[in-house]
Chains A and B, each alone.
Chain A
Amino acid sequence: MGSEARKRSREKIREQREREKRAAKRTKTLIVIGAAAAVVVLVVGIGFAVLNADRRDSGYEGALPPQALQEDGSVVLAQEGAQAPVVEVYADFQCPACRQFELLNGDVLKRNAAEGNAIVHYRPVSIFAQQPVPISSNSLRAGAAARAAAEHGYFVEYNDILFENQPTEGNEGFTVDELKDWFRQTDANAEQEGEFDRRIDEEAAVVTTFTEDYLPALTEDAMAEIGEETLGTMVLSDLISWGADHGHDPAFLDGTYTGEIITATGTAYTRYSGDNTFRGTPSVYLNGELLDNNTAMTVRGLNEAIASADAGEVDTQPMGDGGAE
């Protein structure tokens, strides 16, 4: 009897100890989980604040300096007679990384141009012109529309609108109706709107011919005659020249903005050499030097690079009879 009772009470004490031990372990576990969670919150919170610190005052709503349309269809945004470093921006309106650049640093460039600290040279290209429809057609239609807006002196405003409304890659977008609507968000007058609309209709037809008839036929022929490998190394403008001698007349591109942006893209590939070679978009050059991503794709990086660069020269000539304002 007595030994039985002692055994029971020993059992009870043991259980009690076990419970306490389990409780202590639970507490320890909760402590480490809490500490770990705090580390995560701290790292993410502080990191997020630091990464966003330079974004806060990067917005720019002020007046834009004059934008001058250039002979090759590019646009220079700068104060009259500014002596400042030249920032060249190569972007494809369908390129998502270009959209990120524009969202992040578009206003930084405008501010620098407005304050006379930079000469911003927008050089739209269409690196996606040989991609499948609708990537190619979106890219070309938007490029042509931006050029049409530049004709009336609204390139920079229109550039912003296009990137804000960039279709997801592979989705149909930048439709003729949208492109026309967006031009009405600028300060263009009714006459300019009429001209713009007519031009968009013409360019859209050219883009359709190019992406759906001309290029597939040309590519098929070139594939058969010069082989896929060589073809892969050719830029589009070279392929088009080859086609001109092999029964694919590119005359329908003459005088069109679509043709102009294809030419501008081809020229971009040969404009720089060595480390500065143009390879894709977005490419941002400061006085002819290609900026790396850490510089071009951060607000602080770009601001500091511009601030520490010498004055540069724009390498294009303004359009003769003042297409721009």
Chain B
Amino acid sequence: MDTTDESPDASTAPAVPRSRWEAVQPWLTLACRLGLAAVLVFAAVSKFPPALSVQAVEAYDLFPVEVARLIGYTLPLFELALAALLLVGLATRYVGAVGALLMFVFIAGIVSAMARGLNIDCGCFGGGGQVAPGETTYGLSIARDIAFAAMGAFIAVWPRSPFALDRAIGLFR
């Protein structure tokens, strides 16, 4: 995984990319960073105001009132923070991994709602709460989250990308 790291011998540093993949991959990673950041910002902003976000969390019927309230308030902020880190490219690999993990937590929540026969909106992008039976979109929400998780995983596996603070420090060059 770390073959892209600084070569120990300066004379053999890859001035010219050794393959097409090596030329393309950093840009793909950058695209994933920007894409996932945009998704997270949109998700966070659409959850405002927090009172409605709390309601969306409560609809999952998984947490005590106070915990649901805390999640409702802090989840959008956490999403914003991840988005900011992806944008500037700080700790790229680990933020990508956390992003992917977050998506799996969301998927677990949706699957649990599905399994318990709840009729709720996932509240992924604002909204949330009860919907009419038959108007749930669990499949779509899960598919979407899998796609976002894949973007996060891509970033985690291939963190090398242009326009990243990590590079300035000498990581993932």
Contact of A32 among B8, B55, B84, B166 (CB under 8 A): B166
Contact of B49 among A31, A40, A293 (CB under 8 A): A293
> Which interface class (under 10, 10 to 19, 20 to 34, 35 or more) fits B?
35 or more
Known: A96-B55, A293-B52. A51 touches B80 (CB 8 A): no
The answer on a CB contact under 8 Å between B59 and A44 is: no
Partner-contacting stretch, out of B28-36, B90-98, B138-146: B90-98
Chain A CB within 10 Å — which of B49, B82, B171 has the most? Answer: B49
Contact of A96 among B58, B78, B82, B95 (CB under 8 A): B58
- Contact partners of B22 in chain A: CB under 8 A: none
Taking CB atoms and an 8 Å cut-off, the chain A residues in 87-140 that contact chain B are 96-97, 99-101, 103-104, 132, 135
The answer on a CB contact under 8 Å between B80 and A28 is: no
Contact of A294 among B49, B61, B90, B170 (CB under 8 A): B49
Q: Shortest CB–CB separation between residue B13 and chain A, in angstroms?
A: 14
Contact of B169 among A31, A97, A293, A294 (CB under 8 A): A31
The answer on a CB contact under 8 Å between B59 and A169 is: yes
Contact of B91 among A33, A99, A135 (CB under 8 A): A33
Of chain A, the residue at the smallest CB distance from B117 is A170
Known: A25-B5, A48-B77, A293-B52. A36 touches B59 (CB 8 A): no
Of chain B, the residue at the smallest CB distance from A294 is B49
Contact of A43 among B48, B81, B91, B95 (CB under 8 A): B81
- A52 and B85 alpha carbons, distance in the complex (Å): 24
- A243 and B48 alpha carbons, distance in the complex (Å): 42
Q: Shortest CB–CB separation between residue A173 and chain B, in angstroms?
A: 13
Contact of A47 among B55, B80, B95, B171 (CB under 8 A): B80
- A25 and B77 alpha carbons, distance in the complex (Å): 30
Contact of B95 among A36, A297, A301 (CB under 8 A): A36
Known: A52-B73, A97-B52. A21 touches B90 (CB 8 A): no
The answer on a CB contact under 8 Å between B91 and A97 is: no
> Which interface class (under 10, 10 to 19, 20 to 34, 35 or more) fits A?
35 or more
Chain A CB within 10 Å — which of B8, B73, B130, B166 has the most? Answer: B130
- Contact of A209 with B by CB under 8 A: no
Interface residues of A: mostly helix, strand, loop or mixed?
A: helix
Of chain A, the residue at the smallest CB distance from B166 is A32
Known: A39-B84, A43-B84, A44-B78. A297 touches B171 (CB 8 A): no
- Contact partners of B129 in chain A: CB under 8 A: 96-97, 169
- Contact of B152 with A by CB under 8 A: no
Taking CB atoms and an 8 Å cut-off, the chain A residues in 261-316 that contact chain B are 293-294, 297-298, 301
The answer on a CB contact under 8 Å between A100 and B78 is: no
- Contact partners of B26 in chain A: CB under 8 A: none
Q: Shortest CB–CB separation between residue B24 and chain A, in angstroms?
A: 24
The answer on a CB contact under 8 Å between A36 and B169 is: no
Q: Shortest CB–CB separation between residue A260 and chain B, in angstroms?
A: 25
Known: A96-B59, A100-B52, A298-B51. A36 touches B8 (CB 8 A): no
Encode contact with A along B46-58: 1 for CB under 8 Å, 0 otherwise. 0011111011001
The answer on a CB contact under 8 Å between A96 and B130 is: yes
14 pairs from A and B in contact (CB 8 Å cutoff):
A17-B8, A25-B171, A28-B169, A28-B171, A36-B91, A40-B78, A40-B81, A43-B78, A43-B80, A96-B58, A100-B55, A169-B129, A170-B118, A301-B49
Top 10 nearest A-B pairs by Cβ distance?
Answer: A36-B91, A43-B81, A47-B77, A32-B91, A40-B81, A297-B49, A100-B51, A297-B51, A44-B77, A100-B55
